[in-house]
Structure 1
């Protein structure tokens, strides 16, 4: 008698996997160059890859199979189930228009991000093959005494899991800080936070973690569940004088204080960008920047870290230094995005509170946008505000967004 056991469909149809190790080697004698090697195994389903290198910093590209170049685009046909690709990257990259860097190596530290070490990757799978998914790791090989901080799940001291659930070919993302660095970690409202500090940075990581302990729980109520992790990278000059956000991570120059002279916080501004689940369209940049800057002020006030008087002063400074008479949905002028836009956000918040007798706020409109997880535009933001207030805010948008009229500063008072 023969017994036939029928396995569940899920057990019979497990999608195949292939492995990728991204190995980044930094030498003590020449920390300004990263030697990158990809090791792939079980890639029978992959026919070819199109790799787009962003600039001329990548040299000495070699690999198995065939490599065909078109300007800075490489068509790589691995030619077998086991393959490797190797290249060298000059880490330093100046960020226009000044002399500062958004990727830089010193003798005892390196601050960079994945997009500066890895090309844009487009994979062509063989027709008719079963959908395969990668299992990827990021491995650093560093000089003795160096440490690493990355926006990824740590598997070992210098090894991280590379996870992109929505994609079949996982690739590294976010910021990295390597070297003789300090790492400070804390779990805040379900968000694992790591602050990585390079030698020479003036950032007080413990003060930053205390600020986040008061403000991160408040941001949960605005933007919803936090990202899986947060890495804050702090490094001194000659790095970029400002903040730069990446996937689950951001960089801020180590000489920027937790609170700027105008009472806003770059560390809260960049946190908002990392957390926000919506991406702005071309006419939505003013919304993204305006929300991030306004909440960098408002969250401090709500957390009791900023007095009513200081909050009101910050709002008045938005008015003083804004660029008025321009269409916020079209402009790219810093004064309009960094000052005019957050003042308009304050005014929208104030008007929502007024017409709803304090029952609804700007938070409710932002939360609805976060729930939608759609591309952010001026039209979608106006719809969210209208739903929140149960009023038509088109006249307000026409005056203060499209015509760029300054809200009446005389009516701005302390309180939020």
Structure 2
């Protein structure tokens, strides 16, 4: 009898609890659809941001300071200045539209965003500008692309329909697309590497080594994930030749690498691993800490290769010695931008810090613990934050990060 009553009562109670909880949960969620029509003739993306739901944001402030946005419109209140658009949705449905200029040339004359008659490579978080959002609701976001006939797309997100992606950004109430994207007449190789859904994509007809890159990742991404277990679930590597930027540029869950860049350089470092470390950590330096960001990435560009067997210990030591010699040209690490000799000197600091932590902890900790700590919090890194993590791993103050080891007396 009790069993029969339980069989009747428990489903009823469960149904009642769902009936009570579900409307409140749904009322706090709104649909957010980004639609981007890519037009190679005009070189523009025609973008619409559409909101639908009971609880829409009260105000959205879009950062237009790059100057690549035009023809901003909405049927609801909209205030425009040279570098900002303040949009105030009304009711249960609202939309805003604008045009985005895809081509963007850097000072060197190369492009970090480019559209041709056959393809386009750009950052989705440039196409959809950063926003300050006021409101209590939480978005359920998707991105839908409109493309010329014969074009396809690749983004670091799950595809729910053709050229239609579900966007995820854990911890964010308002979600927008981030990272690199490529559309057009493209070739893509895809595989699951160390549990990561990985795509390597580039324009058809160019000399792009998609399968070589996947093989390289199969050797090295498992080692990267040993250091950074929270590495993104999706990874997109976009590659193309001139006139694109002749180097590597990381983004959220993605990176761009020029097709001419070798997987392992003559100095035995790897630009690919360097950018993958940026993807893994998601950190940026303050006015005096860019050396931490770049030095850590370059340190692991060698260290990961050593651990995977990509280079021998002898080659590793030679490369470290060469970087130390180059680093002598940098009088100080405490500069706004780290490159060349500054990054080389920073690698030496990272190597010494690793030795010090291992010695102080009897091998129980290493610089990996510091790197994981930075990646856990992400965002801006300071010398103090870096030092705190290093001292926690070592269990004592670390000499490698003393000021006298970061700059010369004359600097």
TM-score, scaled relative to structure 2: 0.88
* The 10-residue stretch of structure 1 (328-337 or 183-192) with the greater mean CA deviation from structure 2: 328-337
Q: 1:300 maps to what in 2?
A: 305
- Alignment partners' CA distance in 2, 1:248 and 1:264: 22
Pairing of 1:227-238 with structure 2 (within 5 A): 227-238=232-243
Does structure 1 retain, via aligned residues, the 8 Å contact 2:111–2:243?
yes
Aligned with 1:322 (options 318, 321, 327): 327
Q: 2:33 maps to what in 1?
A: 21
Structure 1 residue 87 corresponds to structure 2 residue 92: no
Change (3 A) 1:219 1:167: same
- Alignment partners' CA distance in 1, 2:180 and 2:388: 35
Change (3 A) 1:167 1:320: same
CA deviation vs aligned residue, 1:166-186 (integer Å, no higher than 9, x gap): 222221111110111111111
CA deviation vs aligned residue, 1:259-297 (integer Å, no higher than 9, x gap): 112111111011001111555444332111111111011
CA deviation vs aligned residue, 1:302-339 (integer Å, no higher than 9, x gap): 11111223212221221232254533133525224431
CA deviation vs aligned residue, 1:150-172 (integer Å, no higher than 9, x gap): 12121112000122232222211
Does structure 2 retain, via aligned residues, the 8 Å contact 1:200–1:235?
no
- Alignment partners' CA distance in 1, 2:89 and 2:369: 50
Structure 1 residue 73 corresponds to structure 2 residue 84: yes
- Alignment partners' CA distance in 1, 2:49 and 2:242: 32
- Alignment partners' CA distance in 2, 1:166 and 1:398: 36
Does structure 2 retain, via aligned residues, the 8 Å contact 1:50–1:74?
yes
Aligned length: 396
Change (3 A) 1:395 1:180: closer
Does structure 2 retain, via aligned residues, the 8 Å contact 1:190–1:226?
no
Aligned with 1:215 (options 215, 220, 240): 220
Q: Secondary structure at the match of 1:234?
A: strand
Structure 1 residue 285 corresponds to structure 2 residue 290: yes
Q: 1:38 maps to what in 2?
A: 49
Pairing of 1:8-407 with structure 2 (within 5 A): 10-11=21-22, 13-16=24-27, 17-27=29-39, 30=41, 32-42=43-53, 44-95=55-106, 97-125=107-135, 131-199=136-204, 201-276=206-281, 278-322=283-327, 324=329, 326-354=331-359, 358-371=363-376, 375-394=380-399, 397-403=402-408
Change (3 A) 1:337 1:205: farther
* The 10-residue stretch of structure 1 (58-67 or 331-340) with the greater mean CA deviation from structure 2: 331-340
- Alignment partners' CA distance in 1, 2:140 and 2:50: 12
Does structure 2 retain, via aligned residues, the 8 Å contact 1:265–1:296?
yes
RMSD: 2.6
Change (3 A) 1:375 1:121: closer
Q: Secondary structure at the match of 1:19?
A: strand
Does structure 1 retain, via aligned residues, the 8 Å contact 2:286–2:336?
no
Displacement of 1:381: 2.1
Structure 1's unaligned 5+ residue stretches are 126-130, 406-416
Does structure 1 retain, via aligned residues, the 8 Å contact 2:370–2:389?
yes
